[in-house]
């Protein structure tokens, strides 16, 4: 009788190391452009062609910056991530319904590919002011994994109107409200976070464990269209409502209207946003002659993360409670929610460049912008021992009693 030879099979768990790199703006990356004098030869040809066809300048500038963004996305890493964490303060706990010390993320994930992300898992570790690891006070965990689903990518079309109507959709602004599953990490000593793990699963089943982190806001592939949207006062509520599409104007064709003072108000629907030429702030200066060799001398318009982040002088929530004017119509309709505002705290502490990252309602969004721009000077941020312009993101909560 033959003996059955049993060979044990050892199963090994393969640990996949994430490839997390620093995002570097390259010399070939294109910047925001607002004047024909700064355009490339091909862009000038298209600019004059579209102007002769009767399209307002605001539309043409939008189309050109949309195509610039598409150019940048095609040569960028597949996933670009910009993130910031704050901890929930005692005065926030009741309104945010989160425990004091909860790590609250604000994440920008740019899916530069033409594929949709089915699931994105981002793992963060946390550190105190001295740079030592801190742990969740309930479980002892060292890290927090946040899971996000259904993050669309860029268009694969080369048609400028199709590009214009979809290009902003690949820039995903994410917070705890968007995460699924376990999403809590609590420690009041958190000073900063670090992305340590990435798992991106696309609709076709392929998986990636790499991402590029924009540690400083020294240029992102999405910048041309971001700056365009900020410059021309994008209506973020229209974008959220229409999902990036305007059924009445799917191609983004601009229209010209007259205002009451007989001046021309060039306006258009762009990427589902209503955009107007009135009260246009000065655009950010383009970064010229930038390359990696000049990196040490380069100072961005504003940083995202610095050695010491800006801080409000006093209790910001008390100040907001005293200065926010709840819109009457919104209150009567029972509309409430959290409006996330992004702004720059300047070297002198002055607040500027406020915009809505995530809105709730046009009236609440406008009030959030108004009260943000009315803020007194902050304690400025510092980088390399010097005051610096710093991007800051903060949620303003509208809650009816």
Q: What is the 3-state secondary structure (H, E, C) of 232-243?
A: CCCCHHHHHHHC
pTM of the model: 0.66
The C-alpha angle with vertex 317 and arms to 313 and 319, in degrees rounded to 5, equals 60
**Is the separation of the CB atoms in 147 and 179 below 8 Å?**
yes
Q: Is the dihedral of CA 364, 369, 375, 380 positive or negative?
A: positive
- Using CA atoms, how far apart are residues 303 and 84, in angstroms rounded to an integer? 12
Positions of the chain with pLDDT lower than 70, given as ranges:
1-16, 95, 182, 215-218, 230-301, 305
- The two structure tokens encoding residue 380: 């400025």
Contact 160, 221 (CB under 8 A): no
pLDDT of residue 302: 77
pLDDT score at 330: 85
Cα 166 to Cα 153, 273, 274, distances in angstroms:
9, 11, 14
The string over 320-341, giving b where at least 16 C-beta atoms fall within 10 Å of a residue's C-beta and e elsewhere, is beeebeebeebeeeebbbbbbb
**Does the structural domain 306-401 have CATH classification 3.30.2420.10?**
yes
Question: First and final CA of the chain: distance in angstroms?
Answer: 84
- Residues 125, 87 contacting (CB under 8 angstroms): no
pLDDT of residue 16: 57
Cβ distance 214 to 222 under 8 Å? no
**pLDDT value at residue 80:** 92
Query: How far is the C-alpha of 275 from the C-alpha of 266, rounded, in Å?
Result: 8
Neighbours of 209 (CB within 10 A): 14
Greatest extent of the chain over all pairs of C-alpha atoms, in Å: 104
pLDDT at 196: 92
Please work out, in degrees rounded to the nearest 5, the angle formed at the alpha carbon of residue 112 by the alpha carbons of 106 and 118: 70
Sign of torsion over alpha carbons 130, 132, 138, 143 = positive
Listing from the earlier edge strand, what are the strands of the sheet with 264-270? 254-258, 264-270, 273-276
Residue 146 buriedness (CB in 10 A; 0-12 / 13-18 / 19+)? buried
The angle at the Cα of 269, spanning 263 to 273, to the nearest 5 degrees, equals 110
Q: What stretches of 131-234 show up as alpha helix (H) in DSSP? A: 160-166, 223-231
pLDDT at res. 59 = 82
Residues of each domain in the chain carrying CATH 3.30.2420.10: 306-401
- The span from the CA of 103 to the CA of 111, in Å, is 24
**DSSP states along 9-74:** ----PPPPPPEEEE----TTPPPP--SGGGS-HHHHHHHHHHHHTT--HHHHHHHHHHHHHHHHHH
**Nearest-angstrom CA–CA distance, 60 and 302:** 27
Q: What is the pLDDT of residue 218?
A: 56
Asked if residues 141 and 147 have their Cβ atoms less than 8 Å apart, the reply is no
């Amino acid at each position: 009788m033959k003996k059955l030879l049993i060979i044990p099979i050892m199963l090994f768990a393969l640990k996949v190391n994430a490839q997390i790199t620093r995002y570097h703006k390259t010399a070939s990356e294109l910047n925001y452009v607002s004047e024909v004098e700064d355009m490339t030869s091909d862009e000038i040809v298209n600019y004059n062609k579209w102007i002769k066809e009767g399209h307002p300048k605001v539309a043409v500038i939008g189309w050109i910056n949309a195509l610039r963004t598409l150019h940048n996305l095609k040569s960028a890493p597949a996933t670009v991530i910009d993130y910031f964490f704050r901890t929930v303060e005692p005065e926030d706990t009741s309104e945010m319904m989160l425990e004091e010390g909860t790590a609250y993320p604000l994440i920008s994930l740019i899916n530069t590919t033409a594929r949709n992300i089915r699931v994105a898992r981002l793992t963060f570790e946390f550190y105190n002011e001295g740079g030592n690891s801190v742990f969740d006070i309930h479980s002892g965990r060292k890290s927090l994994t946040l899971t996000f689903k259904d993050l669309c990518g860029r268009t694969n079309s080369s048609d400028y109107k199709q590009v214009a109507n979809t290009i902003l959709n690949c820039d995903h602004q994410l917070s705890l409200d968007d995460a699924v599953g376990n999403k809590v990490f609590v420690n009041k000593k958190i000073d900063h976070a670090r992305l340590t793990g990435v798992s991106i699963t696309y609709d076709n089943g392929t998986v990636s464990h790499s991402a590029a982190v924009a540690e400083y806001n020294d240029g992102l592939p999405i910048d041309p269209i971001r700056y365009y949207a900020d410059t021309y006062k994008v209506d973020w509520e229209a974008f959220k409502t229409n999902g990036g599409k305007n059924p009445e104007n799917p191609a983004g064709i601009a229209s010209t209207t007259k205002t009451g003072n007989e001046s021309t108000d060039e306006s258009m629907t762009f990427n589902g946003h209503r955009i107007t030429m009135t009260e246009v702030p000065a655009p950010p200066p383009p970064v010229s002659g930038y390359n990696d060799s000049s990196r040490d001398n380069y100072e961005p318009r504003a940083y995202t993360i610095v050695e010491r982040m800006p801080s409000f002088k006093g209790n910001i929530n008390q100040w907001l409670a005293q200065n926010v004017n709840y819109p009457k119509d919104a209150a009567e309709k029972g509309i409430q929610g959290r409006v996330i505002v992004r702004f720059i705290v300047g070297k002198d502490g002055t607040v500027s460049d406020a915009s809505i990252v995530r809105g709730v309602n046009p009236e609440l969004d406008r009030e959030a912008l108004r009260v943000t721009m009315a803020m007194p000077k902050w304690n400025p941020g510092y980088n390399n021992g010097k005051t610096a312009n710093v991007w800051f993101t903060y949620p303003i909560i509208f809650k009816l009693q």
